[in-house]
Amino acid sequence: MSIPIIDLHCDALLRMHKHGYEFFNTPELDVNYEKLVNGHVIAQAFAIYVHPELSLVEKRATAIKQIEYFRNEVLREGVVHIKKWADFETLQPGQIGAFLTIEGVDFFGGDFKIWHPFHQLGVLSIGLTWNFPNEAADGAHSHYGRGVTPFGKEIITLNNQHKIFTDVSHLNEQSFWDVIEYADYVIASHSNARAVCNHVRNLNDAQIRAMIEKNAPIHIVFYPEFINGTTSASMGDVIRHIDYICSLGGKDLIGFGSDFDGIDFKVAGLEHAGMYQNFINELLKYYSEEQVRGFAYANFLNHIPR
């Protein structure tokens, strides 16, 4: 049985920009066209990420270059640009939807006007920062204690007005709780359960319960360090996180956010997007087809902003 997949996070644009890879079938990419087809991935989020240590000019140049790769390499025959939520409803059999997200607004440089052209480009989810503090928020490795800044709240307000997700995956706890308070549309695009793996990038029980109360999607990430704290993991280890979030009442919010092309160690048997159906077959041993379809795509489609 082949079940369609929607994946909320990959870093293919970063690697394409860094190495000049072509998207169609470059084997070094975890996510390329052939692998998406083989894995029956019907929609893939492509993150725009820039390293926080670059100058502002370099950050903006990097973001623009990644968009060029998205337009010129990813959006080819068989891949359609999802620019608004309604576009999911018009995907045709055999098509793959591709949409942009932002992993850290560092390249905004504290200027909320930069938000608008990226909205026009079809960005559908924005994470305020990546692990470290910036003008918008404190990240998972930040100890400033600021949480979301006034600039970050401006970004959230724009997200709310235009029905864009605010992503909590890389935030520290104070920033997380601020987003829960201020954002109408919240998602964790690639996070696991801290009770299963005690890592700062994972969500604790209170955070998971808050996400459930907010009716906010929680997408599981496939990085072994966030799965079991080591450099190797099995699909069963990933399922432990799904089991745990289900036990807290999150069954209908779970999805996938692989972090492919952004991770240096992989889950055995799930090393790239083309191997997604291996994971589906493993899940079907423990969950009903309806539940697995929920994890794979239906839960997300049920919770996109309307």
Contact 42, 91 (CB under 8 A): yes
Q: What is the pLDDT, as a whole number, of residue 144? A: 82
State the average pLDDT over residues 90-99: 96
Per mean pLDDT, which range of 10-19, 77-86, 136-145, 228-237 is the poorest? Answer: 136-145
Q: What is the pLDDT, as a whole number, of residue 143? A: 80
Rounded Cα distance, 62 and 54, in Å: 9
Q: What is the pLDDT, as a whole number, of residue 102? A: 98
Q: Is 1 a residue whose pLDDT tops 90?
A: no
State the average pLDDT over residues 25-33: 98
Q: Kindly report the CA angle at 96 between 91 and 100, in degrees rounded to 5? A: 95
Write out the two tokens for 14.
């970063």
Give the pLDDT band of residue 245 (cuts 50, 70, 90). very high
Alpha-carbon distances of 293 from 6, 17, 84, 251, 277, rounded to whole Å:
10, 33, 23, 11, 12
Q: Is 84 a residue whose pLDDT tops 90?
A: yes
Q: Is 136 a residue whose pLDDT tops 90?
A: yes
State the average pLDDT over residues 264-280: 98
State the average pLDDT over residues 10-23: 97
* DSSP secondary structure string for all residues of 276-305: HHHHHHHHTTTS-HHHHHIIIIIHHHHHS-
Q: Is 275 a residue whose pLDDT tops 90?
A: yes
- How many CB atoms are located within 10 Å of the residue 304 CB? 18
Mean of the per-residue pLDDT values of the chain = 97
Q: Is 91 a residue whose pLDDT tops 90?
A: yes
**Per-residue pLDDT tens digits for 156-166:** 999 999 999 99
- Mapping DSSP to helix (H, G, I), strand (E, B) and coil, where does residue 193 land? strand
Q: Is 293 a residue whose pLDDT tops 90?
A: yes
